[in-house]
Chains A and B, each alone.
Chain A
Amino acid sequence: MNLKPEPLAFELSSPGRVGVALPKGDVPAAPVPETLLRDELKLPELDELTVVRHFTRLSQKNYSIDTEFYPLGSCTMKYNPKANEVAAALPGWKGSHPLASARCSQGSIELIWKLQESLKAIGGFEAVSLQPAAGAHGELAGVFMIRAYHLARGDAKRVKMLIPDSAHGTNPASCTMAGLTTVTIPSDAEGGVDMAALESACDDTVAGIMITNPSTLGLFERNIEKIARIVHAAGGLVYGDGANMNALTGVLRPADVGIDVMHFNLHKTFSTPHGGGGPGVGMVGAGKALAAYLPGPIAVREGDGYAMAAPSKTIGRMKAFYGNFGVLVRAYTYIRMLGGDGLRRVAESAVLNANYLKARLEKAYPVKYPRRCMHEFVAMGNFAEGVHTLDIAKRMIDYGFHPPTIYFPLIVPEALMIEPTETESKETLDGFVEVMLKIAEEAKSSPELLREAPHATPVGRLDEVAAARCPVLCYRG
């Protein structure tokens, strides 16, 4: 990594310097009214080469799956095959216009339809909508669908969503945005849903439950069918948070165990890029009870061709045009390259890799719920006096690894959530283990090395507290 701190573009500015020569105006000049001119903006003045070097140097400071191992738990930072990019860059896809007629967009709509069919088969769903642009967006769609279902039955009192305490924070946030209240269900001693608490929370005001399986502890929820039965018996519906679908592809179809509606993150499980915040797709799939409520339009067969049509009781649009179409091309390419058997191997290898890391690390990094994990596991970083998980995470940066997810899930103190994914080789995993074991030694022998980490970066330990309490959001030079 280029270790020199990069100045801001403002600091590279030199008065009067320009990067482009504008052509001579061929229309009369209209001066900007003086009241609209703002001297205080101080826009940087730079030449082209300075700009190119500035941004190239910044790009060299990027960390990505294409450069290093990225075991960020719950995020499934798997390798995104370059074939996905080749497919998405084909002129027919790249040049398609969202306002072109359906007749001129048959190829694009056919791809959407085929991807819908693939995802229906993977999840066991009745129908699928590819509209939502992220996992939380898919959750919001699902919660709206559950609400619409109850309202359509004249059951307006169902406003309570049950959410296990290990859930992603987006679950209660989606409910609140949809106007529902949330009830937290505690975990039992083994990290699963506390069945007694679940049963006592189930009454005629329950809209449903939002369940993540495997849970954010990386554990398979063994009572999933029983949970679905209890909630269904109370008149509620079951939402599946598919953030952890990478552990299940080709092995378990969520609809078969009682899930009524679920999102998959195409940008996690189906290998489309998401390190920089997207664009993503939080596809939603639904079983018989909710299929008619899916956001639309979705792709349908029409005669010999394809068309976009709204499901009969749709909650409406979640996204303009065809959604994030480029992501759909990549995910479809990935699914077709792997096929059904390949997708099963994805899940099996993801689970194997996580269990391999867990087995090699759990002596040094205690695991609160020690049973066999799925695609990720949650260790604890509080085994050495005066050293916290944050210090371990920062020290990992010095050794060239992206830190795992830390301090989540909230029910594990000093959590370190590690998800290797299926795309890493044994050599990479062994290299990671060696570094983690070395850091565990350092935590005991020289804790200050960890507390002051990172050392091998352009800037050292950042003061996150000051940044949150007194943020400086504008250049003040």
Chain B
Amino acid sequence: MSVDKNSRYRSSHEWARKDGARYLVGISDHAQEALGDIVFVELPEVGKRLNQGEAFGVIESVKAASDVYMPMSGTIVAVNDAVSGDPALVNREPYAGGWLVAIEASAPAEWDGLLDAAAYEAEAGKE
């Protein structure tokens, strides 16, 4: 399992990372490994406002379909069309090309409440 040191995490395995004024959101390497080969990614419409912990999309692998949750509250300002066309990108590059959505955070302080890389690694390692 790899973790991205610049991202922060939710226990439900999503990461968020500052990217200029916005935050990029994706799922962790641990999550993509547990899901197995991803075959379908459903992403929200740009402009949708969601609270922290609300589901923003669905990731489907050959094993299961799972909701993915907002690590922080905010508005969807971009979605990664590349993963809709090539869902395996989430398996190959969970922290880079396989990002899912970009959000404009409505409560940036929520960032401080997320797990840092070391804490997430310790928690996910216990599963």
Contact = CB atoms under 8 A, between A and B. Distances in A.
Contacts of A468: 37, 39-40, 60, 62
Contacts of A407: 63-64
Contacts of B60: 468
Interface in B62-115: 62-66, 87-88
A410 interface: yes
Interface in B27-43: 34, 37, 39-40
B19 interface: no
Given A469-B39, A469-B87, A469-B88, A464 B65 contact: no
Nearest to A410: B64
A184 to B, nearest CB: 9
Interface in A423-477: 464-465, 468-469
A410 B66 contact: yes
Chain B interface size range: 10 to 19
Counting chain B CB atoms within 10 Å of each CB, the highest count among A169, A410, A464, A465 belongs to: A465
A394 B65 CA distance: 21
A294 B34 CA distance: 41
B32 to A, nearest CB: 13
Given A169-B65, A468-B40, A468-B62, A413 B127 contact: yes
A239 interface: no
A464 B66 CA distance: 18
Interface in B8-22: none
A408 interface: yes
A313 B54 CA distance: 34
A406 to B, nearest CB: 8
A413 B62 CA distance: 15
A77 to B, nearest CB: 21
B13 to A, nearest CB: 12
A468 B41 CA distance: 12
Interface string A384-414: 0000000000000000000000011010010
A89 to B, nearest CB: 40
Contacts of A169: 65
Contacts of B63: 407
A40 B39 CA distance: 30
B26 to A, nearest CB: 19
A464 B64 contact: no
A394 to B, nearest CB: 13
A408 B63 CA distance: 8
A162 to B, nearest CB: 15
Counting chain A CB atoms within 10 Å of each CB, the highest count among B40, B62, B88 belongs to: B62
A468 B40 CA distance: 8
Given A169-B65, A468-B37, 18 more contacts: A407-B63, A407-B64, A408-B64, A410-B66, A413-B34, A413-B127, A464-B37, A464-B62, A465-B37, A465-B39, A465-B62, A468-B39, A468-B40, A468-B60, A468-B62, A469-B39, A469-B87, A469-B88
Interface of B: 34, 37, 39-40, 60, 62-66, 87-88, 127
3 closest Cβ pairs, A-B complex: A468-B39, A465-B37, A407-B63
